[in-house]
């Protein structure tokens, strides 16, 4: 996750386990970030080293509703 597509600074980077293919974003991952809209992408890296970005879009970080 980044502030914008043009930003080079990665704010959150997660590895999705092959055995579950589940992405977990925990409160500790976003604790230091301000509320707002960020961008994310999901990439797959193939055995030969090729990388394909197959999902990207906005990520909205909002306060928790209790």
C-alpha to C-alpha distance for 55 and 59, rounded to whole angstroms: 12
Which are the contacts of 57, defined by CB distance < 8 A and separation ≥ 6? Answer: 39, 40
What is the per-residue pLDDT for 65?
74
How far is residue 19's CA from residue 3's CA, in Å, rounded to a whole number? Answer: 30
For residues 2-20, give the mean pLDDT: 93
Please report the pLDDT score of residue 36 as a whole number: 96
Q: In which residue are the tokens 């502030």 written?
A: 3
pLDDT tens digits, 17-51 = 989 999 999 999 999 999 999 999 999 999 999 99
pTM: 0.80
List residues bridging with 53 in a β-sheet. 43
Residue 8 pLDDT exceeds 90: yes
């Amino acid at each position: 996750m980044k502030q914008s597509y043009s930003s080079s600074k990665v704010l959150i980077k997660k590895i999705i386990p092959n055995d579950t293919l589940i992405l977990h974003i925990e409160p500790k991952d976003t604790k230091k970030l301000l509320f707002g809209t960020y961008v994310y992408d999901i990439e797959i890296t193939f055995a030969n080293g090729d990388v394909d970005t197959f999902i990207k879009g906005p990520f909205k970080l909002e306060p928790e509703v209790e």
